[in-house]
Amino acid sequence: MDRKGMLLVINPAARHGETEALIPVIEKLLQSLPHDTVLTCRTGHAAEIAASATGYDVVVAMGGDGTVHEVLNGLMTHPPSSRPTLGLLPTGSGNDTRRTLGVSADLAQAAIELSTGRRRSFDVGVCNGIFFNNSFAAGLDAKVTAKAVEYKVTRKRDGLWLYLTALLHVLFNELDPFDVTLSFDGGEPARVTTLILAATNGETYGGGFVICPGAVPDDGLFDICMIDPLSLPEALWRLPLVIAGKHTKMKVVRMSRHTSIVLECESPLPAQIDGEVLLERRYEISMLPGAITCIVPMEQS
């Protein structure tokens, strides 16, 4: 793979600080690839680094979904004609972007894929001016994300277990639907009461919940999952099916595909994009087809 230069952006705090210990390992794995390395030191730093990465052909995010989210937002400030390619070394807690891109969960294999992989264009979502590569979700999902952020720090959890325990806490304590005015693709607004509204490019969020099975990250469409209000017993027996992506035929589940969404609420509504929590009364979500090029395994279709 012909490269003009690679910039490795490392979040040493990812996965409870374990990423910092992996830096010598990854430097050895990448010793045959000419690259520069920069470590982030605060929230937002990865976006700043990526935004100033002129002259680099590839910018690699090493960390979790939050790190990739920041790097993506930095790269999207570059003109499309000179926008660097996005690479990924997954060392975070959830790593749903890894699943969407098809990158290996094994760090050594992911490093090999950086040098042997191919480039593929992926869609990028925009929510209130913030870019996201994997998911937007409002309502219960955002409450779960906020609790997961807390548990990540206080209980040192990660992966599916982190989000599952956060979800159980929310189900038992905050299982409240929300009323929202909703319109898709510029259509007429409708008043809706729902428990979850998720719009994704990839199939999973929350560390592996298959919320939108069959989602294609380069088809120019968001896959939408909405779930009607449920009682606690109804939610609990459906939970394993949602984790496995076997929920789409349930009567309480509404699946669809759209290019844009406008969501309005009378009071601030919690939402999340790529695991980052937002709190707004209005969300405008739109699709930028094929807006970012990423390195994926050569065998990926």
pLDDT tens column, 170-225: 999 999 999 999 999 999 999 999 999 999 999 999 888 899 999 999 999 999 99
* First CA to last CA distance, the chain: 18
Strands 253-258, 118-127: pairing kind: unpaired
CA neighbor of 142 nearest in space, from 257, 282, 269: 269
How confident is the model at residue 156, as a pLDDT? 77
Query: What letter represents residue 206's amino acid?
Result: G
Residue ranges of the chain that CATH labels 3.40.50.10330: 6-116
Residue 157 is classified by DSSP as -
The fold for domain 6-116 equals Rossmann fold (3.40.50)
Q: Band of the pLDDT at 3, cuts 50, 70, 90?
A: very low
| 8 Å CB contact between 124 and 101 | no
78-130 per-position pLDDT tens digit: 999 999 999 999 998 888 999 999 999 999 999 999 999 999 999 999 999 99
Alpha helices of the chain — where are they, by DSSP H? 18-29, 45-51, 65-75, 96-101, 107-116, 140-154, 159-173, 232-244
Q: Band of the pLDDT at 64, cuts 50, 70, 90?
A: very high
Residue ranges of the chain that CATH labels 2.60.200.40: 135-289
Which of 30 and 160 is assigned the larger pLDDT? Answer: 30
Specify the range with the lowest mean pLDDT, choosing from 22-31, 116-125, 138-147, 205-214: 138-147
Q: What percent of the chain has pLDDT over 90?
A: 78
Query: In CATH, which of 2.60.200.40, 1.10.1670.10, 3.40.50.2300, 1.10.10.10 is domain 135-289?
Result: 2.60.200.40
Residues whose CB is less than 8 angstroms from the CB of residue 57 and which lie 6 or more positions away in sequence, other chains included: 3, 4, 5, 6, 84, 85
Residue 209 is classified by DSSP as B
CA neighbor of 206 nearest in space, from 252, 147, 247, 249: 147
| 8 Å CB contact between 74 and 40 | no
| 8 Å CB contact between 272 and 145 | yes
How confident is the model at residue 1, as a pLDDT? 39
Torsion, Cα of 135, 81, 83, 26 (10° steps): 110
User: What is the rounded CA–CA span in Å between residue 256 and residue 300?
Assistant: 26
